[in-house]
């Protein structure tokens, strides 16, 4: 009898141990347990620690309450300014309602991943390339709102969304590099122009100070010569004032009107005292008290007698009136072609002598 009771006790204890092993569950600190009894959701969500369920009746599902880091696959899209880009992101989320995450959505991780991909494509199409590159904070906030709106009903809270990388085509990269280079060059030119403006103001002040003391300009010239000569150069360049050249030019132009016209002997076209040209005898000087020979009339050779009925000294002209003096040999005759050429030659000779 005692032996039967002992066997029965051992069997009960063994059955209890098996039941305990089948019903016992351990829930970790970062997990929550959702119990479904005969397919119905139990209102109480099991906390961390040791808990018991009915082995055949209850089903326990553990839900991780930690923040999950999920990378969003790269998405190809066209921005609002028609630029093809490839964008990938990362999303941080966690479960705040374990029962809703188990009951309302089949797989909350897959659902959040698909929602993040579609939202990222939508953000790419609504944004410009400059916003994707420089204004990511605003895009991250918009992307977080777009994903968080449906995820609230799943018991999931979107903690943060970050755009990780933006890949551009090679042609667009080269275009942006040229644009950046042009912008840098523009800034450099503006800085150089500003420096030139400031330097010109300082030079103007220095020039005004040197103009008050002419010796300062000479000292500055000597300092420049010393600075150039210190480098042991074989050639020394000295500045030559342009005003001196202009002064010499004005002096040369102003001397021409002051020169007088050279005297030309009458009838010869030559200066007095100049040698007679070849083939022409020099004219004899007029004696004192002797009147000069009248010029020959048109069509009459020199030295031929006057025609009949015409007085000497007239060629179809009336004699000189009373009180009119005869023409002196010093007075020049009317200019002719030979006279003009001789005048030019005499002027050049006078210019050469002076």
pLDDT, one tens digit per residue, over 57-105 is 888 889 999 999 999 998 888 888 888 899 999 999 999 989 888 888 8
Give one DSSP letter per residue of 154-200, joined into a string.
GTEEEEEEEEEEEE--HHHHHHHHHHHHHHHHHHHHHHHHHHHHHHH
> What pLDDT does residue 310 have?
46
Residue 250 — very low, low, confident or very high, per pLDDT cuts 50/70/90?
confident
Q: What are phi and psi of 238, to 5 degrees?
A: -105, 140
Residue 43 has pLDDT above 50, yes or no: yes
> What pLDDT does residue 187 have?
94
Provide the β-strand partners of residue 50.
26
> What pLDDT does residue 337 have?
45
Higher-pLDDT residue of 165 and 190 is 190
> What pLDDT does residue 223 have?
82
CB-count burial class (<10 Å; 0-12, 13-18, 19+) for 156: buried
Mean pLDDT rounded to a whole number for the chain: 75
> What pLDDT does residue 194 have?
94
The token duo for 348 is 């050049």
CB-count burial class (<10 Å; 0-12, 13-18, 19+) for 197: exposed
Q: How far is CA 56 from CA 26, 36, 60, in A?
A: 17, 11, 11
> What pLDDT does residue 279 have?
47
> What pLDDT does residue 249 have?
82
> What pLDDT does residue 329 have?
44
Higher-pLDDT residue of 255 and 115 is 115
Mean of the pLDDT values across residues 251-265?
59
Mean of the pLDDT values across residues 168-194?
91
> What pLDDT does residue 200 have?
93
Which residue has 């005499």 as its token pair? 346
Q: What is the pLDDT of residues 266-320, one digit of tens each?
A: 444 454 444 544 444 444 444 444 444 444 444 444 444 444 444 444 444 444 4
> What pLDDT does residue 54 have?
84
**Cβ atoms of 271 and 264 closer than 8 Å:** yes
Residue 197 has pLDDT above 80, yes or no: yes
pTM: 0.51
Output the CA torsion sign for 326, 331, 334, 339. positive
């Amino acid at each position: 009898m005692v032996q039967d009771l002992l066997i029965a006790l051992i069997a009960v204890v063994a059955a209890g141990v098996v039941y305990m092993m089948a019903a016992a569950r351990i829930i970790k600190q970062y997990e929550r347990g959702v119990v479904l009894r005969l397919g119905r959701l139990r209102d109480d969500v099991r906390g961390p620690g040791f808990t018991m369920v009915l082995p055949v009746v209850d089903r326990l599902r553990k839900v991780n309450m930690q923040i999950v880091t999920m990378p969003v696959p790269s998405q190809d899209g066209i921005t609002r300014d028609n630029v093809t880009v490839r964008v990938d992101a990362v999303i941080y989320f966690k479960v705040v309602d374990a029962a809703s995450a188990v009951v309302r959505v089949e797989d909350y991780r897959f659902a959040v991943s698909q929602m993040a991909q579609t939202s990222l494509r939508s953000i790419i199409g609504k944004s410009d390339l400059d916003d994707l590159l420089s204004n990511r904070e605003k895009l991250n906030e918009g992307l977080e709102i777009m994903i968080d709106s449906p995820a609230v009903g799943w018991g999931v809270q979107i903690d943060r969304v970050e755009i990780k990388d933006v890949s551009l085509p090679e042609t667009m990269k080269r275009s942006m590099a040229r644009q950046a280079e042009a912008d840098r060059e523009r800034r450099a030119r503006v800085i150089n122009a500003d420096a030139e403006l400031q330097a010109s103001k300082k030079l103007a002040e220095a020039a005004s100070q040197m103009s008050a003391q002419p010796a300062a300009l000479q000292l500055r010239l000597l300092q420049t010569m010393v600075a150039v000569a210190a480098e042991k150069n074989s050639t020394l360049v000295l500045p030559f004032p342009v005003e001196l050249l202009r002064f010499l030019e004005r002096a040369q132009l102003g001397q021409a009107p002051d020169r007088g016209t050279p005297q030309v002997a009458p009838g010869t076209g030559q200066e007095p005292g100049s040698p007679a040209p070849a083939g022409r005898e020099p004219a004899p000087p007029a004696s004192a008290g002797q009147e000069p020979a009248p010029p020959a009339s048109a069509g009459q050779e020199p030295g031929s007698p006057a025609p009949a009925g015409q007085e000497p000294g007239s060629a179809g002209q009336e004699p000189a009136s009373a009180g009119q003096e005869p023409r002196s040999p010093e007075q020049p005759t009317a200019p002719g072609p030979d006279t003009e050429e001789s005048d030019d030659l005499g002027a050049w000779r006078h210019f050469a002598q002076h």
